[in-house]
């Protein structure tokens, strides 16, 4: 697998406190990576080191396989970002604001039309930024981050302040960037339900250390909360489940069997062999939020 960003033993120390502690994350190229952690876990410090805004005390950062520390300008051109609320000249239209960034990066002004088209703001004309909705301002911030044609987009809490419709629009937009424009997106967010829908991979850090890093599909496969079963003879099915030494609950002729995913087939096979008709057998999974809270609290689910 090719990685857009890799950190290798990344460490940052402030007054004898390890804000980031030997952190090694792997952000796959062209995918959406959810970077998760409590407030103060080290997310923003990590992001600022990746962007070259602060220097690590130990470790390194690779951008598309190249050492970012040896060519900071090259790495900076590969990355676009919004770490805090994007600042614009409120009395200017979107185009005029982007012209400032275009001139700074010495980019052809034709790029402005391209990014405004990508973020859905091409028809805003002379409308001033102060008249934009929060969602439009977020999109303009992303346009500003994309104007120099980076391959990686880093966003810190991109849905902050957005209403449910705005959050969905932002989610769909970021998926489009990844899938249609092959842009790698690293998102730091506390809205875990949104990350679970949006991200392809997640990394969870706590107290500056990487606690977990995996893809969303693996989480869905491994983190079964229980197996929901509907049968024609629930009492008999319950006795069989008990014989299998599995914990279960029964309510309104429905069973909830607490087991790992790899047991599901055995349960179904045993029920059928006993002549019990299975009308519904559905695994119910732990949410990303449950996984996150388990990992960061140190408690078992």
Query: In Å, how far are 226, 235, 245, 266, 270 from 255, measured between CA atoms?
Result: 10, 9, 15, 15, 15
pTM of the model: 0.78
Identify which of 272, 295, 80 has the alpha carbon closest to the alpha carbon of residue 202. Answer: 295
Q: Could you give the domains of the chain?
A: 3-215 (3.40.50.300), 224-285 (3.30.70.980)
Q: Which residue has the higher pLDDT, 87 or 99?
A: 99
Residue 87 forms beta bridges with which residues?
A: none
| Residue 31, φ and ψ in degrees, nearest 5 | -110, 170
Tell me the per-residue pLDDT of 252-292, one tens digit each, with 9 for 90 and over.
878 999 887 888 999 999 999 999 999 999 988 777 877 78
Residue 209 forms beta bridges with which residues?
A: 206
Tell me the per-residue pLDDT of 95-144, one tens digit each, with 9 for 90 and over.
999 999 999 888 999 999 999 998 889 889 899 999 998 888 888 999 99
Residue 221, classed as helix, strand or coil, is helix
Residue 160, classed as helix, strand or coil, is coil
């Amino acid at each position: 697998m090719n990685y857009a960003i890799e950190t290798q033993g990344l460490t940052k120390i402030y007054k004898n406190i390890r804000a980031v502690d030997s952190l090694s994350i792997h952000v796959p190229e062209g995918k959406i990576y959810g970077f998760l952690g409590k407030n103060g876990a080290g997310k923003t410090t990590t992001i600022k080191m990746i962007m070259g805004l602060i220097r690590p005390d130990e470790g390194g950062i690779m951008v598309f396989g190249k050492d970012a520390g040896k060519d900071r300008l090259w790495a900076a051109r590969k990355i676009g970002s919004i770490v805090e609320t994007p600042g614009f000249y409120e009395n200017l239209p979107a185009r005029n604001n982007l012209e400032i960034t275009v001139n700074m990066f010495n980019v052809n002004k034709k790029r402005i039309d391209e990014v405004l088209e990508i973020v859905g703001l091409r028809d805003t004309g002379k409308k001033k930024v102060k008249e934009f909705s929060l969602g439009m301002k977020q999109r303009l911030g992303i346009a500003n981050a994309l104007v120099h044609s980076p391959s990686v987009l880093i966003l810190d809490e991109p849905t902050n302040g957005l209403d449910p419709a705005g959050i969905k629009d932002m989610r769909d937009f970021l998926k489009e960037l990844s899938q249609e424009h092959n842009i790698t997106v690293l998102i730091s967010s506390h809205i875990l339900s949104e990350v679970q829908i949006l991200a392809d991979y997640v990394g969870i850090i706590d107290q500056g250390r990487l606690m977990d890093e995996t893809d969303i599909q693996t989480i869905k496969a491994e983190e079964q909360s229980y197996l929901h079963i509907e049968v024609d003879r629930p009492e008999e099915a319950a006795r069989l489940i008990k014989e299998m030494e599995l914990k279960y609950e029964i309510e309104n002729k429905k069973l909830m069997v607490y087991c790992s995913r790899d047991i599901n087939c055995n349960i179904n096979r045993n029920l059928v062999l006993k002549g019990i008709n299975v009308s519904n057998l559905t695994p119910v999974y732990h949410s990303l939020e449950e996984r996150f809270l388990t990992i960061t609290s140190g408690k078992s689910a």
